[in-house]
């Protein structure tokens, strides 16, 4: 029997229970789980802002999750290029992507190469966006400037 390789990609910025849930569910659906941690530059392009936690630190956090067998720095914008590098059989994503233009495109592209897209429930009550908004509300607009001065 062949090993089923799964790939779960995400920013994993401000790591929270939703991230943990995705990784835990993904590991239950494959034999070997690779967690793709999206690079800082790609995040800034996609979300219009840099991550709070830098890539190297996010990778270190994810690397120590017991469900994760391998960590991959996702610096390529095309998921098919990543698949060519890693050869995974299943691609895992939160169900907030289901039915979106991006999700449907990924489903078509991955189906063409035999990769199954599997969605897991999105943790609505906790997200990095909500956490970032809460931090902004607590620290105010000068939080970044204060943080940079401390370096």
CB count in 10 Å sphere of residue 109: 16
Residue 127's pLDDT is what? 59
CB count in 10 Å sphere of residue 34: 21
| Structural domains of the chain in order of their starting residue, each with its CATH number | 5-123 (3.40.50.620)
Dist. CA 124–CA 86, nearest whole Å: 30
Cβ contacts of 133 within 8 Å, gap of 6 or more: none
Residue 48's pLDDT is what? 85
**3-class SS at 10?**
strand
Q: What pLDDT, in 10s, does the model give residues 44-84?
A: 998 888 888 999 999 999 999 999 999 999 999 999 999 99
Share of the chain above pLDDT 70, in %: 80
H or E element: which one contains 128? Answer: helix 128-139
What are the CA-CA distances from residue 139 to residues 44, 53, 145 (Å)? 21, 16, 11
Which one, of 18, 2, 81, lies nearest residue 10 by Cα? Answer: 18
């Amino acid at each position: 029997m062949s090993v089923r390789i799964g790939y779960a990609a995400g920013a994993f910025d401000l790591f929270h229970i939703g991230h943990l849930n995705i990784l835990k569910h993904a590991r239950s659906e494959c034999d070997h789980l690779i967690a793709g941690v999206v690079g800082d530059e790609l995040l800034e392009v996609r979300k219009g802002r840099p991550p709070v936690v830098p890539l190297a630190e996010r990778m270190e956090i994810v690397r120590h999750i017991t469900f994760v067998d391998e960590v991959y720095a996702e610096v390529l914008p095309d998921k098919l290029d990543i698949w060519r590098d890693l050869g995974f059989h299943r691609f895992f994503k939160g169900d907030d992507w289901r039915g979106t233009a991006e999700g449907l495109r990924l489903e078509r592209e991955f189906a063409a190469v035999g990769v199954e897209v599997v969605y897991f429930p999105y943790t609505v009550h906790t997200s990095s966006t909500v956490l970032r908004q809460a931090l902004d509300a607590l620290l105010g607009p000068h939080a970044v400037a204060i943080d940079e001065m401390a370096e």
